[in-house]
Chain A
């Protein structure tokens, strides 16, 4: 059974903290994605990686960075968390131009 796992289901952080969200996939997919999902705004792409050490900005990259040192692992970093980054964060992976497989999501609250 294919799997995308995320390091935490729920996370509470304080404003200004550095936050790491980790995602691991076991399908040997080249592509990995980080999205955030907010009520009324839908899924929005933060960053995309098409290979190890390769990344592209998505639609809302400000305040975020990413790291992909190994093919199976894609990390999202909030350098200095702010309250407007409170959201559901979803990781996904796929082989080129095929369906995306999503993780269970991390609900992050920044206080």
Chain B
């Protein structure tokens, strides 16, 4: 069956350190993968999109990698801040028809 897996345990991290989140998928061959941030009681907000022919994408303190052989994406927040505390969702388009499938999200808590 097709799956998108994110760690269900919250990641607690000290301010200033790098937070790394993992998104693993099975039985998909997506052309691109997206990462979203969601704060409690709010809608997700788009952060980054990485295509299958891109190994790495950066935006300010965020970095995403995409390994289509391992079927894995890593999401890094460098120099983390308490304001980065949120749930981060990965999403991909399994059939290339603009319909995203989302992981269940991974919560990050940045401790001052």
- For chain B, the count of residues having a C-beta within 8 Å of the partner chain is 18
A102 & B104 in contact (Cβ 8 Å cutoff) = no
Residues in B lying within 8 Å of A, measured CB to CB:
32, 34, 41-46, 49, 89, 93, 98-100, 102-105
Q: Nearest residue in A to B45 (C-beta to C-beta)?
A: A102
B41 & A105 in contact (Cβ 8 Å cutoff) = yes
Query: With a CB–CB cut-off of 8 A, which chain A residues contact B93?
Result: 97
B34 & A99 in contact (Cβ 8 Å cutoff) = yes
Choose one: A43, A96, A101, A105; the contact of B98 (CB below 8 Å): A96
Residues in A lying within 8 Å of B, measured CB to CB:
4, 31, 33, 40-43, 45, 48, 50, 58, 88, 90, 92, 94, 96-105, 107
Choose one: A48, A90, A102; the contact of B99 (CB below 8 Å): A48
Tell me, rounded to whole Å, the shortest Cβ–Cβ distance linking B33 to chain A: 12
Query: With a CB–CB cut-off of 8 A, which chain A residues contact B98?
Result: 31, 50, 94, 96-97
Q: Nearest residue in A to B48 (C-beta to C-beta)?
A: A99
In the bound complex, how far is the Cα of B102 from the Cα of A42, in angstroms?
7
Tell me, rounded to whole Å, the shortest Cβ–Cβ distance linking B10 to chain A: 14
